[in-house]
Amino acid sequence: MKVVIVGSGYVGLVSGACFSALGHSVVCVDSNAQKINLLNSGGVPIFEPGLDALIKTNIDESRLTFSTDLKSSLKGADFAFIAVGTPTRQGGSEADLTSVYAVASEIALSAEDGLVVVTKSTVPVGTGDAVEAIIRTSRPDLVFAAVSNPEFLKEGSAIDDFMNPDRVVVGCDVPWATEKMKMLYEPLRATGAPILYTGRNAAEVIKYAANAFLAIKISFINEIADFCEAVSADVSEVANGIGQDTRIGRAFLNPGPGYGGSCFPKDSLALLATAQSHSVSLRVVESSIAANDARKRGIGRRVITALGNQVRGKTIAILGLTFKANTDDMREAPSLNIIAALQKMGARVRAYDPEGMEQARHYLQNVDYAENAYDCVAGADGIVVATEWKEFQGLDFARLSSLVSHPVIVDLRNILDSRKVEAAGFELHRIGSPRRAETASIQVTPRLLKPKNTGRVEREHPAANGSVRPAPQPAAV
């Protein structure tokens, strides 16, 4: 089957490469000529483990191509996937659907009868109705169907998530289009992947509800970690204990500096905004957003406290910049808040990340970047582990101890072996551990901030202090 995917960002590239690996003929389309030229020359604009090899294999097998020409790409196509960005609307909480609607309008100009238009982008409920209306208005006689097929790809394991999914959700109200979607996903169904067929609106809600629930789990365990510090309990033991309950599960119960990335922050806000537009109150979601914002506001001060409260003129080494490991994504990364707080208090910051330093330069100013972890910590007055990269677990801590000026490590991800670290002479601070409770802790109370007449939760952007600037918004396709 011929699949056209409009948008060659994270979701579009991974989906395109994986669909081609399933044997379909795929064209990834993007209006960014520079990106398409890079892909056609063998480059990949994002870091995702295994993606470059998968793309190369399917290009070599003539199943995967890249183009800026949507009109010609749609000739003979069975599916047109919309996989463009839906960032938070500037100055608000709603998802910005400008790119989605622009693509729908462009598809309408060249669509052929029998085309299934599939929204892969994360969108509020009702977007499928709007996409269908846009195409129907432009081409009233066109035989087509608008379908929702949300993605559930975790950055860092996206290929495996696609090929071995927990579930595939297909929201479709048109029988013939449902049959075509079954054919599209038959290779996955044949290997045992659960395929869930729902109404289109239900599929759109499923995506937002899933992300909001996972965000709630993270906010919950972060608050429990604070409680554990206060009562001299170990949060890792608590998380393991409650995670063994099959009704709860262990995933997303790792405490840390707050969630970030391209999904949880914006999707929770968009769900809340959509609910408010329908006069529905989502208090649990609202509280989770507020708790996470408080976490990220307070994490810098927590680090400064662990470092002895005096960081002016000192060099602090930051290990890890991206919002999570195995990605180069810096969007909403907690490291931004940490670095902003340190710089505000007069510290010099040196940083190292295995994949994220190029992207970090779009967000950070006055940061020195090191080639490796050892260069990063040399002469430092303190070390902060901000991202859970595996390579940090395997560091030679005796060597690190010989390099630093002051042997203090603040492990915000609880990934380091405390016995090895402390045996090397380090003072180790962890999240939610009894030892952490012995140091002064600054608690930040979550605030539910509602501007007049909107009821939306407002977030403080790290750019407010002048040390961080927002990344450029993705261009519309």
Catalytic machinery residues: 263
Paired tokens of 9: 């960002």
Residues 249, 155, 289: CA angle, nearest 5 degrees: 65
**Residue whose C-alpha is closest to residue 271's, from 312, 323, 232, 214:** 214
Inter-residue contact 117 to 80 (CB < 8 Å): yes
Residue with tokens 């595939």: 168
Dihedral Cα 424, 309, 325, 26, nearest 10 deg: -160
How far is Cα 217 from Cα 219, in angstroms, rounded to an integer? 6
Element (H, E) at 25: strand 25-29
User: Residues 460, 298: contact at Cβ < 8 Å?
Assistant: no
Compute φ and ψ for 28, nearest 5 degrees: -95, 125
Q: Coil, strand, or helix at residue 76?
A: coil
Q: What is the DSSP letter of 364?
A: B
Q: How many other C-beta atoms can be found within 10 angstroms of the C-beta atom of residue 194? A: 11
Residue 225: partners with Cβ closer than 8 Å, 6 or more residues away = 235, 255, 431, 432
CA–CA separation, 26 and 20 (whole Å): 6
Both tokens of 222, joined, read 């972060």
Could you tell me the two tokens for 2? 């011929």
Length of the chain: 477
Residues 6+ apart with CB under 8 A from 415: 385, 388, 392, 393
CA distance 335 to 296: 9
Q: What is the separation of C-alpha 165 from the centre of its chain, rounded to a whole number of angstroms?
A: 18
d(CA 308, CA 429): 12
Burial of 45 per CB tally in 10 Å (0-12, 13-18, 19+): middle
Q: How many other CB atoms are there within 10 angstroms of residue 33's CB atom?
A: 9
The whole-angstrom separation of Cα 410 and Cα 329 is: 22
Backbone angles phi, psi at 323, to 5 degrees: -70, -20
